[in-house]
């Protein structure tokens, strides 16, 4: 299901572009073969282009990372829905995770084998050896992620066949902190790569626009170039991160772009492509290119800050070790992304295209290690500093000392220092009292009612004499504007 949806989506896209193209090179069969090849390329499989000017087959091994999201999301969704089908809600059988994983993976690999055979008859067939391990790798990882999400993301202990020492070591909190801090450092590097790519595209806007318009003059061709450029944006992010780390990226044999300079590309015929038009100018670097060093420094700060635990009993060595492990995780993630974002685009000069994975990973680990370990130790010391008002001889009242003394006394005693309260006996249960049934009452003896007494004659009520109505004086209206004369004194 997932493989069919992915192949169908790419087939529809390629057929639409083939129909709208004014100069189609082949029929619909060639377009469908190309769609199968692009589906395999989305898994990282190398394609081979035989129709070259020199006659030498040219491999195409650079995978657009945005295209990888198509099979990964579809495969993950298929595994998640397969695990949710038998949840036991309607009385059906609950499917185990291994059964769902095996069923989804085997079906996907069967479709992948057929697609490899079908793409062999197209203009860009897939390398069988490359497809033999790239397609299963993507299928296994995506299916495992889908089943894990469907089962509630369990984080239980490792299996029993793992050595006991390894299981104890992995259960420590330092490894979870190292994974989190290393992933944060890799995200900071990718964010810096996005900023570099966006700034370079804006700075070389005229060159990028001219290259885009010069590639083709029809709207279908420009739409295809735009889609390819968008699919390569994640690759450009990784290239920008490798550029900020120092090793840079290769643009063929003998041409390398680093912050220190862009050299060795005088005789290199670079392909005309909008993203390649945003490269820095040839020659030595400048203070503007050297300023990209703030990106790996920011990644090291992120690793060091997140590697500090908030517990007071953690030592400085434990904090430094956690920061070092986070730097190693950041280096491994960067190396994997650099390897996935690079690959050959041809033969001879274009055999090397993109960052070298081990150089990018080593530079990321070195940068973050140099910044993260001192920062983590400093943050740990700041958080555990003595409280205000405590001198050098007042360690008894320092923060955290009371907790450490209490823990030491508890371990020395071997039992809780506060004795447990004696258990209170539960009250004896009171037997239930049976309900009292009401006794039937005998029928009462009827008593004759006395005769009613005759009512006396009503006495007439006297009518009072009418009272004459008192005349009511009319209300006195206030007079405005009257002058009050003063009272004269009588003559003596």
The predicted pLDDT at position 420 comes to 47
Distances in Å between the Cα of 212 and the Cα atoms of 170, 219, 223, 240, 270 are: 51, 11, 10, 21, 15
> What's the pTM?
0.76
Cα–Cα dist 69/64, whole Å? 10
CB environment 375-401: b (16+ within 10 A), e (fewer): bbbebbeeebeeeeeeeeeeeeeeeee
Least confident interval from 62-71, 315-324, 344-353: 344-353
Averaged over 141-155, what is the pLDDT? 84
Sequential DSSP letters for 438-482: PPPPPPPPP-PPPPPPPPPPPPPPPPPPPPPPPPPPPPPPPPSS-
Averaged over 233-249, what is the pLDDT? 95
pLDDT digits (tens, 9 = 90+) for 4-57: 899 999 999 999 988 888 777 777 888 899 999 999 999 999 999 887 777 788
Please determine, for residue 134, whether its predicted confidence score (pLDDT) is greater than 50.
yes
Please determine, for residue 315, whether its predicted confidence score (pLDDT) is greater than 50.
yes
Residue 475 burial (C-beta neighbours within 10 Å; 0-12, 13-18, 19+)? exposed
pLDDT digits (tens, 9 = 90+) for 396-415: 555 556 666 666 777 777 65
205 CB contacts (<8 Å, ≥6 apart)? none
pLDDT digits (tens, 9 = 90+) for 363-382: 999 999 999 999 999 998 88
Regarding beta strands 261-263 and 58-60, do their DSSP bridges make them parallel or antiparallel, or are they unpaired? unpaired
The predicted pLDDT at position 412 comes to 76
Distances in Å between the Cα of 297 and the Cα atoms of 302, 304, 355, 430, 444 are: 9, 11, 20, 74, 105
Average pLDDT, the chain: 81
Please determine, for residue 117, whether its predicted confidence score (pLDDT) is greater than 90.
yes
The predicted pLDDT at position 270 comes to 74
Residue 262 burial (C-beta neighbours within 10 Å; 0-12, 13-18, 19+)? buried
The predicted pLDDT at position 241 comes to 96
Element (H, E) at 250: strand 249-251
Instruction: Tell me the domain boundaries of the chain.
Output: 1-154, 172-385
């Amino acid at each position: 299901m997932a493989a069919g949806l992915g192949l169908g989506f790419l087939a529809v896209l390629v057929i639409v572009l083939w129909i709208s193209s004014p100069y189609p090179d082949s029929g619909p069969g060639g377009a469908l073969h190309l769609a199968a090849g692009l589906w395999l390329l989305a898994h990282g499989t190398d394609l081979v282009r035989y129709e070259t000017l020199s006659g030498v087959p040219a491999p195409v091994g650079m995978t657009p990372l945005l295209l990888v999201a198509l099979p990964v999301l579809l495969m993950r969704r298929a595994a998640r829905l397969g695990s949710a089908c038998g949840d036991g809600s309607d009385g059906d059988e609950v499917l185990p995770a291994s059964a769902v994983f095996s069923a989804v993976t085997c079906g996907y690999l069967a479709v992948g084998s057929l697609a490899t055979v079908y793409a062999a008859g197209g203009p860009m067939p897939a390398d069988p050896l490359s497809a033999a391990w790239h397609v299963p790798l993507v299928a296994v990882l995506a299916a495992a992620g889908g089943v894990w999400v469907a089962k509630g993301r369990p984080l239980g202990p490792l299996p029993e066949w793992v050595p006991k020492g390894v299981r104890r070591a992995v259960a420590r909190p330092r490894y979870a902190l190292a994974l989190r801090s290393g992933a944060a450092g890799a995200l900071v590097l990718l964010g810096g790569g996005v900023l570099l790519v966006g700034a370079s595209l804006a700075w070389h806007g005229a060159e990028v626009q001219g290259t885009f318009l010069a590639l083709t003059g029809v709207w279908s061709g420009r739409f295809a170039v735009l889609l390819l450029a968008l699919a390569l944006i994640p690759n450009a992010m990784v290239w920008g991160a490798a550029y900020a780390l120092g090793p840079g990226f290769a643009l063929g044999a003998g041409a390398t772009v680093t912050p220190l300079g862009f050299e060795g590309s005088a005789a290199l015929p670079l392909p005309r492509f909008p993203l390649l038009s945003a490269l820095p100018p040839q020659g030595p670097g400048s203070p503007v290119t050297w300023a990209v060093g703030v990106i790996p420094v920011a990644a090291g700060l992120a690793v060091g800050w997140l590697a500090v635990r908030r517990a007071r009993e953690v030592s400085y060595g434990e904090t430094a070790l956690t920061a070092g492990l986070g730097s190693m995780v950041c280096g491994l993630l960067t190396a994997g992304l650099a390897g996935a974002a690079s690959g050959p685009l041809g033969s001879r000069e274009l055999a090397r295209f993109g960052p070298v994975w081990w150089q990018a990973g080593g530079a990321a680990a070195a940068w973050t290690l140099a910044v993260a370990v001192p920062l983590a130790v400093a943050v740990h010391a700041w958080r555990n500093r003595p409280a205000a008002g405590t001198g050098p001889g007042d360690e008894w009242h320092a923060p955290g000392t009371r907790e450490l003394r209490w823990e030491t006394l508890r371990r020395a005693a071997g039992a809780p220092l506060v004795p447990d309260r004696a258990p209170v006996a539960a009250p004896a249960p009171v037997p239930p009292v049976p309900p009292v049934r009401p006794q039937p009452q005998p029928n009462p003896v009827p008593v004759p009612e006395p005769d009613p007494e005759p009512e006396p004659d009503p006495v007439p009520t006297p009518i009072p004499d009418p009272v004459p109505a008192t005349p009511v004086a009319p209300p006195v209206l206030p007079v405005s504007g009257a002058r009050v004369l003063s009272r004269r004194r009588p003559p003596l």
